[in-house]
Amino acid sequence: LNEQLKQDAVKVFDATFEKVDFSNGAAAAELINKWVESKTNEKIKNLLSSDSLNSDSRLVLVNALYFKGTWKKQFDPANTLDQPFNVDTEKTVMVPMMYLEDNFSYGESQELGAQLLKMHYVGEKASMLIVLPNEIDGLDGVLQKLADGYDLTGEVDKMFDTKVQVTIPKFKIETEIDLCDLLPKLGIKAIFDSTNSGLTKVLNTDEKLYVSKAVQKAFIEVN
């Protein structure tokens, strides 16, 4: 690696560096997985499969996100009870439901056909925006409008503080996205080009460097 790049990465991003032998793909994947696991409170495991890396691998981009904040207005565990949750119009399951009555930022959108609720975490630098369809089978319609570019920020700007009775399920969300498919659709293509990635200055050698694998995994816990 270029020495100046390493110095800048440490100074700006507090980065660390470790040599990885991609010729032993399974060992390299295990090394990366252990690092990700340690940085995400052991919530994100096995980010890379043992056969995802090989001697042809050059640069691997991994993005792991773990979020578990503390609510500014916390739920009392004594108020958490098993209640019915509508999966769709035909299926209902019993899940632990948290309950809290307090002042929150709230809104109603006729265009989306949904209610909006914003709940802050401690420090108020982060918050969760909950969009609840008015109809049990209304989720697909809401998602489609958002995917089509509906201005959700405009709805957020119209929200107001009021007392709300909040009942939401405890849940965990874990998602994995292959960034090799997603990033080119967003116009980020060059870094995946094995012949002209624009990353040549990263190394002190003439070796071709490009991103051969890119994956993002996120874990969010709400309780």
Distance CA 19, CA 161 (A): 52
pLDDT at 183: 93
Judged against a pLDDT cut of 90, whether residue 6 lies above it is answered with no
> Does the structure show a pLDDT above 90 at 138?
yes
Identify whether 179 is part of a domain. yes
Domain membership flag for residue 75: no
CA distances (Å), origin 220, targets 64, 128, 170, 174:
11, 11, 11, 7
94 in the same domain as 36? no
Task: Summarize pLDDT for 164-173 with one digit per residue, the tens.
Answer: 999 999 989 8
Q: Does the pLDDT value for residue 56 go beyond 90?
A: no
The domain total for the chain is: 2
- Asked whether residue 114 is domain-assigned, the answer is yes
The verdict on residue 76 lying in a domain is no
Rounded CA-CA distance 82/76 in Å is 14
Cα 15 to Cα 35: distance, rounded to the nearest angstrom: 13
- pTM > 0.75: yes or no: no
**2 confidence band (pLDDT: 50, 70, 90):** confident
Residue 146 makes CB contacts below 8 A (sequence gap 6+) with: 112, 152
Flag whether pLDDT at 1 surpasses 90: no
Q: Are residues 86 and 64 in the same domain?
A: no
164 and 201 fall within a common domain: no
Q: Say yes or no: 89 and 164 in one domain.
A: yes
Residue 137: pLDDT over 90 = yes
- What pLDDT, in 10s, does the model give residues 116-131? 999 999 987 899 999 9
Q: Identify the H or E element spanning 184.
A: helix 179-185
* pLDDT of 200: 80
pLDDT score of 204 more than 90: no
Does one domain contain both 49 and 108? no
> Of 29, 28, 1, 26, which is closest to residue 16 (Cα–Cα)?
1
What pLDDT was estimated at residue 48?
Answer: 92
CB atoms within 10 A of CB 153: 7
CATH code of the domain covering residue 158:
2.30.39.10
Q: What is the pLDDT of residue 218?
A: 92
Q: How high does pLDDT run on average in the chain?
A: 92
Q: Tell me, yes or no, whether 21 lies in a domain.
A: yes
Range of the domain at 196: 3-68+173-222
Q: Percentage of residues in the chain with pLDDT exceeding 70? A: 100
